[in-house]
Amino acid sequence: MKNINNTRLLFQKYITPAMQGFKLAVRGNSFVYTRTGSESVQQVEFVTQTSINNGELVFLRIYPRVNVYFEKINEFARAIFKRCLTEAGIEHSINNSTYCIPVYTDNKTDSENRDSVDITFNNCSKEAEIIQNVLCEKVLPLLDRLKTSDGFISCWENNNIMYPHRFAIYIICAYILKNNKEKAVVTAEDFFKKNDNISEYNALMNYIKTNDI
């Protein structure tokens, strides 16, 4: 219990002050900050891994990640998935998130970026401040832009967010829900047809053309 309390105190001191407007829930070894808006549910989750020596917490590794969920977009994606797509990873994602990505915690190149922070009693202030800075300078401004589906589309078009090709189904759905079938078709061509997923591309085109949204 003492080690759990130490971890909680660390979050209360260094992380929670940066997460204004978010509610904290502790779920096992995860600290989940959640904000619910009119269109989206946003979470910043910190999965923790602890190292214990003689009953004392001496080492804490934190893996932060961002998750954004748009209910209407995912409901639509679920309907399209059942008819057009086969990727199991997408099916899992549809039930849990619209956009999910690790939070990188330094300024190295992409291949060197850390998706975790190691904290000890000797460096907790320094490393926790790194997380604070990343939250305030990068994560929270991005989440502010991802509150609405219009913001979601804007972040996509400005390359603020990216997807592996099959997961672009979320962008296709967002475009269709905004009555912009032209951009939905272009996105399907870029992320399905050009990647030789011809059967899925044809199924998507048939769905877009034959369904009034």
pLDDT given at position 146: 97
State the Cα–Cα distance between residues 48 and 30, nearest whole angstrom: 6
Domain ranges of the chain: 2-210
Mean pLDDT for the chain overall? 82
Q: Quick check: 105 pLDDT over 80?
A: no
The per-residue pLDDT for range 161-200, each reduced to its tens digit, is: 988 777 888 999 999 999 999 999 999 888 888 777 788 8
The per-residue pLDDT for range 29-71, each reduced to its tens digit, is: 899 999 999 999 999 999 887 766 666 655 677 888 999 999 9
- Of 18-27, 114-123, 130-139, 155-164, minimum mean pLDDT range: 114-123
For 116-126, b where at least 16 C-beta lie within 10 A, e where not — what string?
bbebeeeeeee
